Amino acid sequence: MPSSPNYAERRAKLRQAVFETKKPPGALLITSMANLYYLTGFTGSFGALLLTPNAERFLTGGIYATQAQYEVPDIQLVLNPTLKEFNETLAATAAELGVSVLGVESSTSVAGLKALRKAAHKAGIRVEPVGMPVDKLRRVKDGFEIARLRAAAALADVTFEHIQRLFQPEVAEWDIAMEIDFYIRRQEAYPAFDTIVVSGERTALPHGKPTERRLQKGDFVTLDFGAKLNGYCSDLTRTVVIGKASTEQRKLYYAVLEALQRSIDAIRPGKRGKQIDALARKVLDRHGLAEYFGHGLGHSLGILVHDGSGLSFRDKQPLEAGMVLTVEPGVYVPDFGGVRIEQDVLVTESGCEPLTHAPVDLLECEW
């Protein structure tokens, strides 16, 4: 695997996608921080990349002057003066490069687009949204990214193993969530999102927040967490039982597990995300539980934990080798509880490969 990403090659692919079209803009402006990281390696929280067919500029403020010089050494740096509006510097830089039409990402906010257009108009530049070209490139991961995603998934696995000692009565949800976050940070990583730990009837809340509720014998406990390690994310969900599972708990659990396994078995290039989502719903419907599955089957993983299209009824594009996805069927029964089991997988040429390996069989926690 490559020891570092080839940012210049990524930018070359982006240029081809944007400028070799029927009506290309004169330049492309990238302001999404995830996209900036993908294209340059910049890890700050404020900056912009301006690309023309033959030139490129990286713009940021004085607070990131030294960091940008270190992280983005191969692009000419433009520093915004302290008392000048950033959009004015963007417009002036584009004008210096002879730009008349500036393309921007469609994810730009309405307020951001309005402010940029005002500054660009003064410089004689028209601003037009051009879709999400970088996001399309990020959909398929290269070898460097896959290696980092493997490492993030492995950290999620060992975190789950580490936390199991707390699966006992009278331990608070908050204590488990804090231990997960602390353990991930001690491995020189960050939580990829706000850690979810819910128990008892609260497991019927797919995105419930941890509270001071203490685990009780017979509880379902659902944990959903991930690690952001070296810029890339993992996402793992497991549901366990404190003590012995009831007949109804086992029914829910193994229905969800069947949906998970059948879905993973069906993933391969050419399949559409919505087809895999429909398969999971069909399995749950056979168990009389489809009405309790209220979210998409999965999403892409990468620089962001929700890194683009994946496995939902909206995803009509064929899957491609190199995509990394979550597969996370769940059922949530009000006043009873819920089950979600989530795996991270890599789409391969012939199917898919699990990246997370924490056990998925029902864990009944004796103490």
CB 117 within 8 Å of CB 18: no
The mean per-residue pLDDT over the stretch 33-47 comes to 96
pLDDT higher than threshold 60 for residue 1: no
At 126 the pLDDT is 95
**Band of the pLDDT at 367, cuts 50, 70, 90?**
confident
pLDDT of residue 83: 84
Tens-place pLDDT, residues 243-276: 999 999 999 999 999 999 999 999 999 999 999 9
Strands 236-242 and 363-365: parallel
Mean pLDDT of 163-189: 98
What pLDDT score does 21 carry? 87
Render pLDDT for 113-136 as a digit per residue (tens, 0 to 9).
Answer: 999 999 999 999 999 999 999 999
Q: How far apart are CA 299 and CA 308, in angstroms?
A: 7
Mean pLDDT, all residues of the chain = 96
Nearest Cα to Cα of residue 266 among 350, 188, 331: 350
Percent of the chain with pLDDT over 70: 99
Domain segments of the chain: what residues?
7-137, 143-365
Domain covering 143-365 assigned CATH 3.90.950.10 in the classification: no
Q: How far apart are CA 42 and CA 34, in angstroms?
A: 9
pLDDT computed for residue 89 by the predictor: 96
CA distance 279 to 7: 38
Q: At 330, phi and psi to the nearest 5?
A: -155, 155
| DSSP string of 83-94, one letter each residue | TS-HHHHHHHHH
Mean pLDDT of 80-94: 94
Kindly report, residue by residue over 295-321, the tens digit of the pLDDT: 999 999 999 999 988 999 999 999 999
Query: What string of DSSP letters covers 247-307?
Result: HHHHHHHHHHHHHHHHHHHH--TT-BHHHHHHHHHHHHHHTT-GGG--S-SB-B-SSSSS-
| Three-class SS of 304-331 | CCCCCCCECCCCCCECCCCCEEEECCEE
Q: How many CB atoms lie within 10 A of CB 215?
A: 26
Going by C-alpha positions, the residue among 192, 118, 201, 203 that lies closest to residue 344 is: 192
DSSP 3-state of 133: helix
Per-residue pLDDT of 2-34, as tens digits, reads: 568 999 999 999 999 999 988 999 999 999 999
Position 229 pLDDT exceeds 60: yes
Q: Which superfamily does 7-137 belong to? A: Creatinase/prolidase N-terminal domain (3.40.350.10)
Residue 180 above 80 pLDDT? yes
pLDDT at 2: 59
41 pLDDT above the threshold of 60 = yes
Q: What is the pLDDT of residue 141?
A: 97
Q: What is the DSSP letter of 64?
A: G
